[in-house]
Amino acid sequence: MTAEPASTIRTLDHLALRGNDAAPALVLREGILSYKDLRDRVARLAGWLQAQLPRPGERVASWAAKGELTCLLPLAAARAGLVHVPVNPLLKHAQVAHILADSGAGLLIGTPARLASLLPGDVPVGCAVWSEGDAVSAASVTAPLHPSEADPDQLAAIFYTSGSTGKPKGVMLSHANLWLGAESVATYLGLQPDDRALAVLPLAFDYGQNQLLSHWYAGASAVPLDYLTPRDVVKAVERHDVTTLAAVPPLWVQLTELDWPAAAAKSLRRLTNSGGALTPDLVRRMRALFPAARLFAMYGLTEAFRSTFLDPALIDSHPTSMGTAIPHAEILVVDDSGAVTADGEEGELVHCGPLVAQGYWQDAVRTGERFKPAPAASRYGGTAVWSGDRVRRDADGLLYFVGRRDAMIKSAGNRISPQEIEEAALASGLVAEAVALGIPDERLGQAVHLIVRAALGSSDAEHELPRILLQELPNFMQPRVIHWRTALPVSPNGKIDRNGLYAELAA
């Protein structure tokens, strides 16, 4: 599949029109929806939504299970001229209340249990509430709505960040942002109509929702799965002959600790990772477990959807690289003056081009901090996302993550990358997960604390790890304390909850 010219950008609901009528589009517990079924149900759900919220641009929030409603809403809301606000199912009532109030949602659709958890005052005045079952039933008997012909630059969705630092902020995404994101990923992953994705990631995040959109762009299918244990993922891959599996590093670590049936491992054609870097050891384990699958290491920003991917042919020789820009993205590394850095020189990653979001919903101050004019060297110009992430580019053009500007540990005058400490701990083979943090210290400014989970079978890890770190890291990088845990907490987006760990240790 090759990238289409920008002139072919359509409104998001047109993704339902791309597959063959009889081809499977969505594999649900209740049965398989063909593309013909998908088109009909999107059209009827859109008609029902428009009857509930007749003014274009109104917001419809979803806090529902991963099933028919949550999969169809991105397209149906777009067809109805509405803005979809997906809410992470792991959030609690106070966070949901903030999102509903901040977005000005006029309609909330959720599971009965989640709706029952809301307290008086959590739902704003004027926001109607429907259970997902009632909404699906009502939509099934509603007259269908024809495909939309709106301006692709119109707002289509607001994705709220996890809110690990302060209250969640809503990233505004247009039809064009989401359409080009689906097209870009389908292109570089090489998706085909016979592909099938196991959608294990939350649909309330861009990475999770793109599992659906990119496969529908290619005329392929998706299997939404709310899993309880990593073993559920293995069973689903085998049961549904899954070809594409997307995950974040904590889940990949757990999946590589399991025994996989040969048939399940063989069916996978591609594995994708974002939301954190893969370590060389994890890459080796994944490559050994899934030798026939192409492994795509990726880097993304909610504010620009996705920025880079590494050609799978380079994953063995460059396992820590972020790769190069995805289609429709321009990635620059700039110094503090805004000039492009030389090869090997550290700078800030700046994302330019049509994947850049429209800013933060009703937050001009934070929008101005992150969305700024593109560097003079940009071929796109306009507004760019200044990521705050520090990277470097090698002579071959490959990018490498150094660390976030605000996450660097500053100890005794030294500027330390947490990633460097974490990589040394993981390279020992003694730990499966590692997080390095700078905890306030009167003498040092910040002291290095390392939180780890022991790898399976590493019985002497607590004694051996400090010794290995002394060999591999300079004195100023040595952890003051190593905290051993049986499990590391994860945030609502599935990543290790660094901010929660920091709050705990700094208290």
Read off the CATH number of the domain in which 476 is found.
Answer: 3.30.300.30
Task: Please give the Cα distance from 416 to 441 (Å, whole number).
Answer: 15
Give a yes or no: residue 188 inside a domain. no
154 and 70 in one domain? Answer: yes
144 and 50 in one domain? Answer: yes
161 and 15 in one domain? Answer: yes
CB neighbours of residue 396 within 10 Å:
10
233 and 362 in one domain? Answer: yes
Task: Please give the Cα distance from 26 to 22 (Å, whole number).
Answer: 12
Burial annotation 266-276 (CB, 10 A radius, 16+ → b, else e) = ebbbbbbbbbb
Q: Is 291 exposed, middle or buried (0-12, 13-18, 19+ CB in 10 A)?
A: exposed
Question: On the CB side of 35, how many CA atoms lie within 13 Å of its CA?
Answer: 20
164 and 253 in one domain? Answer: no
Give a yes or no: residue 180 inside a domain. no
Q: Is 72 exposed, middle or buried (0-12, 13-18, 19+ CB in 10 A)?
A: buried
Which three-class secondary structure state does DSSP give residue 381?
A: coil
Give a yes or no: residue 29 inside a domain. yes
**Residue at a domain's end among 131, 150, 174:** 174
Count of domains forming the chain: 3
> What is the pLDDT at residue 412?
72
> What is the pLDDT at residue 3?
53
392 and 312 in one domain? Answer: yes
Q: Interior CA angle at 12 toward 10 and 15, to 5°?
A: 85
Give a yes or no: residue 185 inside a domain. no
Task: Please give the Cα distance from 41 to 145 (Å, whole number).
Answer: 10
21 and 93 in one domain? Answer: yes
Give a yes or no: residue 164 inside a domain. yes
Whole-model pTM? 0.83
Quote the tokens at residue 462: 């607590």
Which three-class secondary structure state does DSSP give residue 283?
A: helix
Give a yes or no: residue 415 inside a domain. yes
344 and 385 in one domain? Answer: yes
The conformation of residue 436, written as its DSSP 8-state character, comes to E
Note down pLDDT in tens along the chain; length 507 residues: 555 544 488 899 999 999 999 999 999 999 999 999 999 999 999 999 999 999 999 999 999 999 999 999 999 999 999 999 999 888 888 889 999 999 999 999 999 999 999 999 999 999 999 999 999 999 999 999 999 989 999 999 999 975 434 567 899 999 999 999 999 999 999 999 999 999 999 899 899 999 999 999 999 999 999 998 999 999 999 999 999 999 988 899 899 999 999 999 999 999 999 977 888 889 999 999 999 999 999 998 889 989 999 999 999 999 999 999 999 999 999 999 999 999 999 999 999 999 999 999 999 999 999 999 999 999 999 999 999 999 999 999 999 988 776 677 878 767 687 888 998 899 899 999 999 999 988 777 789 999 999 998 888 899 999 999 998 887 878 999 999 999 999 887 788 999 899 999 998
379 and 251 in one domain? Answer: yes
Quote the tokens at residue 507: 């208290």
162 and 15 in one domain? Answer: yes
> What is the pLDDT at residue 161?
79
Give a yes or no: residue 341 inside a domain. yes
393 and 441 in one domain? Answer: no
For residue 473, what are the CA distances in angstroms to 416, 421, 429, 439?
Answer: 11, 8, 16, 19
164 and 31 in one domain? Answer: yes
> What is the pLDDT at residue 163?
43
Which amino acid is residue 325, in one-letter code?
Answer: A
| 248 in Cβ contact with 273 (< 8 Å) | yes
Backbone angles phi, psi at 379, to 5 degrees: -80, -20
The conformation of residue 439, written as its DSSP 8-state character, comes to E
Quote the tokens at residue 240: 């549904």
Task: Please give the Cα distance from 152 to 142 (Å, whole number).
Answer: 26
> What is the pLDDT at residue 380?
96
CB neighbours of residue 381 within 10 Å:
14
Give a yes or no: residue 211 inside a domain. no
For residue 428, what are the CA distances in angstroms to 230, 454, 470?
Answer: 24, 11, 12
In 249-329, at which residue ranges do the beta strands (DSSP E only) sit? Answer: 270-273, 294-299, 308-309, 321-325
Question: On the CB side of 505, how many CA atoms lie within 13 Å of its CA?
Answer: 24
Instruction: Please give the span between the terminal C-alpha atoms of the chain, in angstroms, as a whole number.
Output: 52
Residues 6+ away with beta carbon under 8 Å from 353:
328, 329, 330, 380
> What is the pLDDT at residue 91?
80
Whose CA is closest to 86, among 119, 59, 113, 117? Answer: 59
> What is the pLDDT at residue 275?
79
Residues 6+ away with beta carbon under 8 Å from 115:
63, 108, 129, 131
**Residue at a domain's end among 155, 174, 193:** 174
Residues spanned by the domain of 313: 227-401
**Residue at a domain's end among 360, 381, 401:** 401
Whose CA is closest to 41, among 63, 23, 16? Answer: 16
Domain containing 388 — which CATH number?
3.40.50.12780
